[in-house]
Structure 1
């Protein structure tokens, strides 16, 4: 673990093995070839808000329009075609640009999301790689894209993003990722100063300082729990949490001024199942994480204390419908609606989205809306984003 000197202020194993095996097989082929604090506030209706989801086992990106009342309607033409084997999706702050790595080709593609919710390929936004690209992350200002390429070890490549969305290699040296990064996942601190890369096999998190022109400088390696995925930050960047699948828990870290990490009190925190993509509410007071498999599939909710410590919310974890395998969460800006996207849905031919209402105490209840099919197979990894075109 890297410690900062200065702090700021049976069925279970078979099902999970199947999901991870699906991802591992695709990687191998590629290598060979809104917050609760806002409740009660009125918000203007937005017809340009969308839930965007990519997939690992089918060639497409699904787009659902988010209605003013929080219901979802699939955009005509969705899913939109892309390369096969997407494990990551990143969207610009203004909601207009989407990048996905697809590991079978292996390449990264960029798309323009218009106000009707349709995706259009961006000329010059296609880049190929020598190995499987498993993660892509845009800087908050949208000027640089970092791509994690799997290997033994893997590495990170950097690209400049033009105003049109076209990609150009920066020329900055590639940086190595510590450990085995065949299924590496990444996140960028909210202030845009550091890139973090998790290694699922190595149980480590490599940190890099982001410099001018996309240059990355290694800043140490932290030990996380076994099988880490989907790093999640608090909005102010003070805390970072990883979902440690193999220990049914979350690892918590406090981020120091210099970007170094130290464990939050009581970490790791049990989730009650195999955790996937955690998300923190915009006010930084609560964290939710889906348990794809456990004693019944569920979403666990936690209160975030001033020191980053997590304690369960009332009645957590919250059960999901029978036959669902929840993997990712998106929060509506109104602070009242949550969208839970399945890795896979046993009762449907494609992964489904379930809508929940967030109560005043942070607990969850079904909205009553019917689940919506994405049209995609296996939405594994951080492949879900709720975005507004124009950034509103």
Structure 2
């Protein structure tokens, strides 16, 4: 695919930020793990947002009210291993897994109705190198862990009924290119795994067998600096954020898992994109620009084509680097989560989604998560 030259005013900072993360991962060593104490029970059916800190060894938990407002739960953030670059929520909406590169491991936690995180017995495992990403199958029965290296590889684990992790017995598979900060996603069908390599321009593709065996389907070329693959809600389209391309690559997913470009791909975001999310009705897509300090918004057409929404991109608060976005199930509220901020700890900012899809600040104050440097897909919102 043909690359467009990115605006020079963004390139140095974006390259420095992510390359610093790559160097950070390469230098990590084992650290001691901590255990969160149980908290009191509270009302069932509470909704929470979890935000991990890459540099602060913790997971922040925020209570999400019905009106979309946020508040920190007692004792948050909860400690975990060092170097978290990925956080995945199981289908039960209460079990979460985080790979922590500092300890060459993955840990699982369960969220109670009070918002307290508790370690899951048997879900604290070690892998063969610094893990940079994890992805669950849609049924929650398989966990795939990307291990950084030159080349890196992917390991698979079976998830037991209790949430414990056990090796699947399937062979590891190599990742094409230099995957020091590789990121992964499983197709909504559960049949295919995608892994992008940040320090390169490739996406590796694998077919997944019921026993967790991964069969390489080959790599395709994307633009430089691919991160955080994301899917449309119907599972027909895949979008990859290209940090050094300053755009999104869109792909149609074939029945056999093969990928072909969506019409008009790639789509400029006017900054350094950090992972896209699609609305529940599958009609709009939003992506934060870490450099460019904004959120890009698109109409998602039935053929996978993206068309910019009115007024896009939308300004982010001053002195922040937008890292991720999350959507409230009400379809009216969008949350913007920082990678870094002048206040040091990560903040969450709230936007209102208008009828035409455009965004406006909600007027609510930002909420401090208490964690530092939320880099990568480290945010999850419970159902």
Answer yes or no: same fold by TM over 0.5: yes
* Residue number in structure 2 paired with 1:341: 337
**Equivalent residue in structure 2 for 1:321, among 301, 304, 317:** 317
Structure 2: runs of 5+ lacking an equivalent: 2-7, 32-42
Deviations 1:176-198 (A, max 9, x none): 11111111000011111111000
Deviations 1:336-382 (A, max 9, x none): 00011000111x13010000000000000011110001111111101
**CA separation in 1, counterparts of 2:45 and 2:218?**
44
* Residue number in structure 1 paired with 2:363: 368
Question: Which aligned pairs between 1:61-140 and structure 2 lie closer than 5 A?
Answer: 61-140=59-138
**CA separation in 2, counterparts of 1:201 and 1:31?**
21
- 1:141 and 2:139 correspond: yes
- TM-superposed CA distance for 1:309, in Å, is 1.1
- TM-superposed CA distance for 1:11, in Å, is 7.0
User: What's the secondary structure of 2:21's corresponding residue?
Assistant: helix
Q: How many residues align?
A: 366
| RCO comparison, higher one (Cα < 8 Å, 6+) | 1
Mapped contact 2:143–2:156 kept (Cα < 8 A) = yes
**CA separation in 2, counterparts of 1:233 and 1:30?**
31
Mapped contact 1:46–1:68 kept (Cα < 8 A) = no
Structure 1: runs of 5+ lacking an equivalent: 2-9, 34-44
**CA separation in 2, counterparts of 1:66 and 1:249?**
31
- 1:227 and 2:222 correspond: no
- TM-superposed CA distance for 1:254, in Å, is 0.3
**CA separation in 1, counterparts of 2:329 and 2:337?**
17
TM score, norm. by length of structure 2:
0.92
Deviations 1:116-158 (A, max 9, x none): 1110011110111221100011111111110001111111101
User: What's the secondary structure of 1:57's corresponding residue?
Assistant: coil
**CA separation in 2, counterparts of 1:175 and 1:336?**
41
User: What's the secondary structure of 2:106's corresponding residue?
Assistant: strand
- TM-superposed CA distance for 1:46, in Å, is 8.0
Deviations 1:268-309 (A, max 9, x none): 111011110211111111110001112xx1000011112111
**CA separation in 2, counterparts of 1:237 and 1:13?**
32
**CA separation in 1, counterparts of 2:9 and 2:375?**
19
**Equivalent residue in structure 2 for 1:307, among 295, 303, 319:** 303
Mapped contact 2:30–2:104 kept (Cα < 8 A) = no
TM score, norm. by length of structure 1:
0.90
- 1:170 and 2:168 correspond: yes
